[in-house]
Structure 1
Amino acid sequence: MGLLKWSTRPTVDIDAKKPQVNVLRGLLARATTPLLPDDYLHLINPLWTAREHRGKVIDVVKETEDTATVTIRTGWGFPAAYKPGQYVGIGLQLDGRWRWRSYSLTSIVGSADNKTIAITVKANPDGFLSSHLVDGVEPSTIIRLAAPRGDFHLPEPIPGKILFVTAGSGITPVIAMLRSLAARGQRPDIHHIHSAPTRDDVIFLDEMEALAEQVPSYELRLQLTREMGKVSVSRLEEWVPDWRERECWACGPPALLDAMESHYEGGGLRERLHVERFAIARTDHGGEGGTVRFAVSDKTVEIDGATTLLEAGEKLGIQMPFGCRMGICKTCVLPLAGGYVRDLRTGEERREGERIQTCISSASGECTLDI
């Protein structure tokens, strides 16, 4: 037992899929001290490092004019299991800087190759990384990965009646749920309302229409907004008369989700509604901006009151911790070493000594972070 502990101690922080692998890695670490095997292995294959999760872009396939599915081969230590509806962090080096965003997984566990994952990305005119993933990333590009996270997924056991309300790229976490249900032969009663400007803009249109034709318990309602107008929650009663009896998962633009939350709260059914937001709901509560100092990195930047501390750090090339980027998962929490920051959602001010969420906070005058 003592020998086993001695062998694995150099790799106690490495998450290996097979425990016995860490024995070999530990023995190699003992032999290569002061370096670790990763200092050599990543030179042979970048995916073999266990210092961080990595992946390699295998393929990029267009789904619509501004949307593409990116298939990624995952490296050493990346979790083999995740839940349909969860998201993954993607880091890509562009112009000498690592840029990070989170995207819903559209692959499912148990597919043909469990060493690959897929995300489906819609290019945002203001989103440099999303546009690059859709139109510019080359196969064999090495990327960084953050482990799958998120609470937007179906529970076990699966509810007998489900309502999906999605719009635009909000279909991405839900398509993973639909694929998982189909793969497991589960057929709950599903009503699905999905909106997009035109049929050409509907991501996974053929797949959803085929599912509606083949599975009687899946009913799809397409709301093509250019000719039919936007989804109005006041029409839920008309479209889905038994909506009150259904567990609902909704994902789309902030206005749609805000309306859904108000509708369910008004009916006393908020606990039946599960929402996934792709961006923080920035209000007029931002700070006045100011100087942000990153103490450990010894870097300083001036930002306006609408730029988050997370975005500021990333622009300086600092590897900031993050998860959802929406103020939900708390992965980005850091100690505020000095000054003041303000929550972009609520306007609440935080001061020195408190722990803050960098993804939803901006400078309110001068502030210092311990990173």
Structure 2
Amino acid sequence: MADMAVKQAIRDLNTTTPWDSHSQMLECVMILQDTHDVKTFCFQTTDNSWFRYLPGQFITIELEIDGKPVLRTYTLSSSPSRPLSISITVKANKDGYASQWLHDNLKEGDKIKAHGPAGLFTLHNHLADKYLFISGGAGITPTLSMTRWLFDQGTHTDVHFIHCARTPSDIIARRELESMSARVSDIKVAYACEEPDPYGAWTGYTGRLNQLMLELISPDYQDREIFCCGPGPFMQAVRDILNTAGFNMDQYHEESFEAPITDEEDRPDHDDVIIDDDAKSSVSFQRSKKDTRVQESDTILTAAKKTGLHIPSACQFGVCGTCKVKKVSGEVHMMHNGGITQEQIDDGYVLACCSNPLGDVVIDF
């Protein structure tokens, strides 16, 4: 029976038209458990229409929950190079009304209404010889779709794929990514996990993605077209890394899985901090009763040395935390690499080696 269904689907490709979301429902034909809280839902049409879209695009599904219509957008994790079905990969979230409902209620054989595909976040809009895909959590779906597309093309495309997850067990499609990388040397995959699994060995990167990791994983990232997707704070951290490194942000493209973009005019204007080499700042060291004028591009550590003060420091990359000092007032832009905790930042501490003064700053030293 399965063999006959496959043969029929192949024959239908020559006679049927692409899925029309205005007139055709989607039927859930398979549900895959990716991780403990992530499922992939696979859909076809009842008349075996095929699917046409660009890798990285999304659909909007229409559900009825508690008697009310609910619309939610989900990126297609499948690739248009495999047109017999489409898939969305969804993380369960107790605060996510629709996502949790899908996990708890959608079954094989159920039919739903969907709209699309749509979206501008696709490599087809920014063709390049080399790509860098960066994702966090469920934001892996569009970069996974694009990587599957490039793999299926059967041509050499230079791809560096970085995925950030909470633990190794939370990495979505890990085996498939590693299989693609093993078969095609142009696809290089790396992970950064905030913490290892409790009872498992982890030899990958540990901690949040930082500039040191980026340079080790993708030394030529400055030459790549970068696509990034994930939660807002995650993408802010990636932009901070790139801005600090002087990356050409015309080669950077992002999409939040919380708010996909359908029109160019809807793209958000990010109020990112860009260090101005010509701007001047004043740094005062309160206990030492010393102050100095420096450029914004100088660090607090540089300012201290200029006044003859010695703030203990070691790595000077924001890793070791040796140069931690407390900020009394003013604003700094800090790009650390894990040498300080969020609790310490909330208490007013900064790392002198990687904090640039913005205007007038007072340090307790």
**Which residue is equivalent to 1:37?**
none
Q: Is the 8 A contact 1:49 1:76 kept in 2?
A: no
**Which residue is equivalent to 2:165?**
196
Query: Shift in Å at residue 178 of structure 1?
Result: 1.1
Tell me the C-alpha RMSD between the 2 structures.
3.3
**Which residue is equivalent to 1:124?**
93
2:60 to 52, 71, 89: 89
Q: How does 1:316-327 map to 2 (within 5 A)?
A: 324=260
Query: Shift in Å at residue 263 of structure 1?
Result: 3.6
Cα separation, 2, equivalents of 1:329 and 1:160: 24
**Which residue is equivalent to 1:73?**
44
Does residue 209 of structure 2 align to residue 231 of structure 1? Answer: yes
Which sections of structure 2, spanning at least 5 residues, go unmatched?
A: 1-12, 197-205, 272-365
Q: Is the 8 A contact 1:74 1:117 kept in 2?
A: no
Query: Shift in Å at residue 188 of structure 1?
Result: 1.2
Q: Is the 8 A contact 2:39 2:91 kept in 1?
A: yes
* Larger Rg, first or second structure (1 or 2): 2
Cα separation, 1, equivalents of 2:243 and 2:63: 39
Does residue 43 of structure 2 align to residue 64 of structure 1? Answer: no
TM-score (norm 2): 0.60
Residue type at the aligned position of 1:261: R
**Which residue is equivalent to 2:252?**
273
**Which residue is equivalent to 2:70?**
99
Q: How does 1:1-371 map to 2 (within 5 A)?
A: 52-74=23-45, 80-111=51-82, 113=84, 116-155=85-124, 158-227=127-196, 228-233=206-211, 235-266=213-244, 267=246, 269-280=248-259, 324=260
Query: Could you give the per-residue CA deviations for residues 29-51 of structure 1, whole angstroms, max 9, x where no partner exists?
Result: xxxxxxxxxxxxxxxxxxx9985
User: Structure 1 222/50 Cα, relative in aligned 2: closer, same or farther at 3 Å?
Assistant: closer
User: Structure 1 53/147 Cα, relative in aligned 2: closer, same or farther at 3 Å?
Assistant: farther
Query: Shift in Å at residue 112 of structure 1?
Result: 6.0
TM-score (norm 1): 0.59
Cα separation, 1, equivalents of 2:236 and 2:189: 22
Is the partner of 1:216 in helix, strand or coil?
coil
Query: Shift in Å at residue 260 of structure 1?
Result: 2.2
Residue type at the aligned position of 1:125: K
Residue type at the aligned position of 2:236: D
Query: Shift in Å at residue 163 of structure 1?
Result: 0.7
User: Structure 1 212/56 Cα, relative in aligned 2: closer, same or farther at 3 Å?
Assistant: same
> How many residue pairs get matched?
246
**Which residue is equivalent to 1:24?**
none
Q: Is the 8 A contact 1:87 1:150 kept in 2?
A: yes
